[in-house]
A and B are shown apart, each in its own frame.
Chain A
Amino acid sequence: MIARMEIGGLLAARRWRRILAALFQILLVVGVFLFITLPLAWLVISSIASPADLLSIPPRWIPWPPDFSNYSHLLFGGEIEGTTLTTVTLRAFRFSLRNSMIVASGVTALCLLFGVLAGYAFARLQMPLGDRLLYLFLLVQMVPVIVLLIPMFLVMSRFGLLDRLEIVILLLTAFHLPFVIWILRSYFLSIPVDLEEAALVDGATRLQMLRHVILPLAVPGLFAAGVYTFMQTWNAFMIPLIFTSSETKRTVTVAIAMFIGRHYTEYGLISAAGVLASLPPALLAIFFQRYLLAGLTAGAVKG
């Protein structure tokens, strides 16, 4: 009788301990969650707070009702009375979003195109120097970008090529290409070669085979390389900062830096601009998390 009660007590104690452990775990996870989201939340709150809420001391943490006028102003609005913001500034910001989109998609497309060709050649066709050349590419890519920027800036300014999006695209493509070749080559290597042989025996040319046999199989690798490149390019700062000068050529990262420099007191608007600038990479990260992680852990080598 006593023994049975003891066992019952023991089981109850064990269950309690399990529940406590689970609660503790959830508490810890909430801690991690808050570490990540609290700073982000403040930016979002700043962007949707009404001016009265934003400028209250101490701050009103949950602005109510939310005020989305900052976003509509940034995207569609004109001059705002009583502020330093002019129609020109707002237009420049819209331009910068467009420019970033052009640059990031352009670089991603070029990197994938050249990366597929070179990656396949390095994976399957014996190249002179072969892997050694590839390692050299990667080593060069480890060099901090500013080393390359001084001579490129001198050359481009001598030929009058500054302030052109095409040049920004070319520079960023060259900078990310070695890594893309590397990812795609490893991906091609993981595809069984028998399929290619079959296609070759059937009389397909290399390029036909690449298009119809290899590429469909390499879609995850293309995604990993593409998403990673798009994100890195969208976030690029130093190259667009140095190689563009007019307001209509800036990318959004540069536009934000300039915006803060000039209109820092427009807290709501700059916060909204920051949120808008983060949306493309954030959405990519959420939708293509799996691919991104693959690219990211491989890309950690690059630093």
Chain B
Amino acid sequence: MEVTIRARTNLHLLMAKSRTLRYRTRLVGLLMITPGLAMIVSLLFYPLFHSLVISLYDLNIRAPWLGPRFVGLWNYLQALSSPDVQAAAGRSLYLAAVGIGLGIPLSMAFALILNRPFPLRGLVRGLLIVPWILPGTVQGLLWSRIYDPHYGALNGVLYQLGIIRDYIPWLLDPQRALLLVALANTWATVPMMTLLYLAGLQSIPEEIYEAAQVDGAGWWARFRHITLPLLMPITLINLILKTIDALTLFDLVYVLTGGGPANATQVIGYYLYDAAFQRLEYGYASALAWLIALTAVGLTVLYSRITRPGEARL
């Protein structure tokens, strides 16, 4: 920050030398942001505004001769009161709950393990990114190969271990399907959570542990009273990121289950896609999209509050 301020004043002095120079600097700056600004305004700001307008209309795509009809907040009310939306939102929350309940302890444990020295540490840490960088559709493919009813790895392992007698069509059972999707999704997000925890662990000064050890604190006491509280900001971040992720999850579901069986895995991201681009209810879908967006942005603002500079710098 100091550098910036100094930079600004120095440049200022330089610029004060002549008014034309300052004028030219402004102009150059404007020219430099113009291409990017033009793209962002036309392809982000404009559609944002446009979708707000659409959300107040019934576009009557199925009956174009009727033309768009202004319906005010009707789409929003409909989205908020629809049992389908509530069910889909519930499924997304379930995804988030599994991802948090299972993912947070797991990723914290992973981070603690990987934070200690061991041979080939760089390699294992590098591998950690791989599940996260896998395209979502490939993740779907990967897990459909594992859950496959006839030639899947899960059936194979359980059968060979003698846990199951017959192969099970895992994804055909509506009650099980959502859990299996949540587990697949957790596999992909745990590495990211682990990386954030690792960054958090590195910011805890070693001296605190040394002092605690001198005072006779055992492993558990040190974890309970030092590591856990000091990682709290990261835990909150992971919680929020996972929730946002669950609210927007789409590609994994699209490939793995297509929302089925019997809508059992139709999470809110999938429902939204279905409403917009399969059922063509653009107004209704825009309203719902805005509701989801506001939730996500609210969570993000919360997130940036938590990561105030100086508290948990990543």
The residues of A with any CB-CB pair to B shorter than 8 Å are 25-26, 28-29, 31-33, 35-37, 39-40, 42-43, 46, 54-55, 57-59, 61, 113-115, 117-118, 120-122, 124-127, 137, 139-155, 170-171, 173-175, 177-178, 181, 189-190, 192-194, 196-197, 200-201, 206-207, 231, 234-235, 237-238, 242, 252-254, 256-257, 260, 264, 267, 270-271, 274, 277-278, 281-282, 284-286, 289, 292-293, 296-298, 300-301, 303
Name 16 interchain pairs, CB-CB below 8 A, sorted by A: A36-B127, A141-B44, A143-B296, A144-B269, A147-B290, A150-B282, A151-B54, A207-B28, A256-B141, A257-B140, A271-B145, A278-B133, A278-B138, A281-B135, A282-B130, A301-B303
> In the assembled complex, which residues on chain A have CB atoms less than 8 Å from the CB atom of B211?
none
Q: Is the CB of B140 within 8 A of A260?
A: yes
| A117 and B35 contact, Cβ closer than 8 Å, known pairs A143-B48, A151-B51, A197-B11 | yes
Given contacts A32-B113, A174-B39, contact A277 B156 (CB under 8 A): no
Assess the B244–A115 pair: CB atoms within 8 A. Answer: no
Contact B124 A33 (CB under 8 A): yes
Q: Are B129 and A289 in contact, CB atoms less than 8 angstroms apart?
A: yes
B307 (CB) vs chain A CBs: closest residue: A301
Q: Which listed residue (B116, B254, B273, B304) contacts A301, Cβ 8 A?
A: B304
A278 touches B135 (CB 8 A): yes
Cβ contact within 8 Å between A124 and B136? no
Q: For A174, what are the chain B residues with a Cβ–Cβ distance below 8 Å?
A: 39-40, 42-44
Q: Check B167 against A57 for contact (C-beta < 8 Å).
A: yes
Interface pair A189/B3, CB less than 8 Å apart: yes
Other than the given A150-B286, A260-B140, 17 more pairs (CB < 8 A) read A29-B124, A32-B113, A32-B124, A36-B130, A57-B150, A114-B35, A121-B33, A142-B297, A152-B43, A154-B54, A235-B134, A278-B138, A281-B134, A281-B135, A285-B133, A296-B129, A296-B192
Residue of A31, A242, A289 near B277 (CB, 8 A) is A242
Tell me, rounded to whole Å, the shortest Cβ–Cβ distance linking A275 to chain B: 8
In the complex the two chains form, is A148's CB within 8 Å of B47's CB?
A: yes
Per the bound structure, the CA–CA distance linking A192 and B4 in Å amounts to 9
Q: Which of B77-85, B174-182, B222-230, B245-253 contacts A (4 or more CB under 8 A)?
A: B245-253
- Residue from B8, B136, B142 within 8 A of A253 (CB atoms): B136
CB distance from A228 to the nearest CB of B (A): 10
Q: Which residues of B lie under 8 Å from residue A200 when comparing CB positions?
A: 14
Pick from A25, A42, A207: contact of B142, CB under 8 Å? A42
Q: Are B10 and A193 in contact (CB under 8 A)?
A: yes
| Neighbouring B residues of A57 by C-beta, 8 Å | 150-151, 156, 159, 167
Contact across chains for B142 and A43 when beta carbons are under 8 A apart: yes
| Chain B interface residues (CB < 8 Å from chain A) | 3-4, 6-8, 10-11, 14, 25-26, 28-30, 32-33, 35-37, 39-40, 42-48, 50-51, 54, 110, 113-114, 116, 118, 124, 126-138, 140-146, 148, 150-151, 153, 156, 159-160, 167, 187, 190-192, 195-196, 199, 237, 241, 244-245, 247-248, 250-251, 254-255, 269, 272-273, 276-277, 282, 285-286, 289-290, 292-293, 296-297, 300, 303-304, 307, 314
Asked if B47 and A59 sit within 8 Å, CB to CB, the answer is no
Q: Which residues of A contact B33 (CB under 8 A)?
A: 117-118, 121-122, 127
Q: Closest residue to B138 on the A side, CB-wise?
A: A274
Known: A150-B285, A155-B50, A285-B126. A25 touches B146 (CB 8 A): no
Question: A175 to B44, Cβ gap below 8 A?
Answer: yes
Q: Which of B45, B269, B272 contacts A140 (CB 8 A)?
A: B45
Q: Is the interface of B mostly helix, strand, loop or mixed?
A: helix
Tell me, rounded to whole Å, the shortest Cβ–Cβ distance linking A216 to chain B: 18
CB < 8 Å neighbour of B39 from A28, A121, A170:
A170
| Least Cβ–Cβ distance between A101 and chain B, in angstroms | 14
Q: What residues of chain A lie closer than 8 Å to B7, measured between beta carbons?
A: 124, 189, 193
Least distance between B25 CB and chain A CB atoms (Å): 6
The smallest beta-carbon distance between B171 and chain A, in angstroms, is 12
Contact across chains for B199 and A297 when beta carbons are under 8 A apart: yes
- Expressed in whole angstroms, the minimum distance between the Cβ of A98 and any Cβ of chain B is 16
Given known pairs A25-B116, A114-B35, A146-B273, the reply for A58 and B135 (CB within 8 Å) is no
Is the pair B43, A257 in contact by a Cβ cutoff of 8 Å? Answer: no
* Contact A28-B3, Cβ < 8 Å, known A175-B44, A260-B141: no
From known contacts A26-B118, A146-B289, A235-B136, infer whether A58 and B159 are also in contact, taking CB-CB under 8 Å. yes
Residues from chain A with a CB closer than 8 A to the CB of B134 are 40, 235, 278, 281-282
Asked if B255 and A121 make an inter-chain contact with CB atoms under 8 angstroms apart, the answer reads no
Are A303 and B300 CB-contacts (below 8 A) given A26-B118, A40-B142, A197-B11?
A: yes
Chain A residues whose C-beta falls within 8 Å of the C-beta of B190 in the assembled complex: 35
In the complex with contacts A125-B32, A237-B251, A271-B141, A303-B296 CB distance below 8 A: yes
Instruction: Point out the residues of chain A lying under 8 angstroms from B4, CB to CB.
Output: 189
Q: How far is the CB of A45 from chain B (nearest CB, A)?
A: 8
Chain B residues closer than 8 Å to A149, beta-carbon distance: 47, 276
Complex Cα gap A55–B145 (Å): 12
Interface centre among B145, B251, B277 (most CB of A within 10 A): B145
Residues in B neighbouring A42, C-beta threshold 8 A:
142, 145-146, 153
Instruction: Output the nearest chain A residue to B13 by Cβ-Cβ distance.
Output: A197
B146 to chain A, nearest CB (A): 6
> 8 closest Cβ contacts across the A-B interface?
A125-B29, A174-B43, A193-B7, A151-B50, A114-B36, A118-B36, A59-B156, A121-B32
